[in-house]
Amino acid sequence: MSSKKLCINALGIALFVVLTLCLQVPVFENYYLCLGYIAMAFYTYYFGITSGTLVGAMGVLLYCLLTSGLRGMPGWMLGNIIIGVLCGYAAKYAKRLSYTWMKQVVMAIAVILSTAIGILIVKSMVEVILYSLPFMQRIANNIYAFVADVIVLIIGFGICISGEGALRKVGEMNENE
């Protein structure tokens, strides 16, 4: 990995942490929207699978270290790896589609499926293993996280897809200078 790519990814990780820490939008009783997922969506869509996955996984690691220690982190981090990889492959496919609405649909389906696997299954299984809690109880508790994370990721990918044309024009303007 080049130093440029390393710096870009480090910026994304920092952005994930800052958005998660500074902009806490309450949705459910004690659960906030994790706006860091907007950074993860951006990096996954524009910089690829590896960058998006690194931003999501390392962003969660740093956020947890800053706020609550490692409690809750292993499952969330592994869940973000699943989400980053699956959404990354979906983004590669979606970028080849002609219509914006088709890209939106592909990414929405990918977000729902990957977050279900990453948060409801993987995160819940890790918590069952680490804390000896019943699996169904963990799934029930993680439903809040699933819904909130899906909302933010769909918005994040929606912004990326909608902004593609504008970014392309900016890139063309820079090439002409």
Q: How confident is the model at residue 32 (pLDDT cuts 50, 70, 90)?
A: confident
Backbone angles phi, psi at 29, to 5 degrees: -35, -65
pLDDT digits (tens, 9 = 90+) for 127-174: 899 888 899 988 988 898 899 999 999 999 999 999 887 766 655 554
pTM > 0.85: yes
> Mean pLDDT, the chain, as a whole number?
88
What is the secondary structure of the chain as a DSSP string? --HHHHHHHHHHHHHHHHHHHH--EEEETTEEE-THHHHHHHHHHHH-HHHHHHHHHHHHHHHHHHHTTTTTHHHHHHHHHHHHHHHHHHHHHHHT-S-HHHHHHHHHHHHHHHHIIIIIIIIHHHHHHHH---HHHHHHHHHHHHHHHHHHHHHHHHHHHHHHHHHHHHHHHHHH-
Q: What is the pLDDT of residue 165?
A: 72
Tell me whether residue 53 is exposed, middle or buried, using C-beta atoms within 10 angstroms of its C-beta: 0 to 12, 13 to 18, 19 or more. Answer: buried
Q: What is the pLDDT of residue 77?
A: 93
Q: What is the pLDDT of residue 88?
A: 97
Percent of the chain topping pLDDT 90: 62
Percent of the chain topping pLDDT 70: 90
Domains and CATH numbers, the chain: 3-176 (1.10.1760.20)
Q: Which of 8-12, 21-25, 58-62 has the lowest mean pLDDT?
A: 21-25
pLDDT(83) > 70: yes
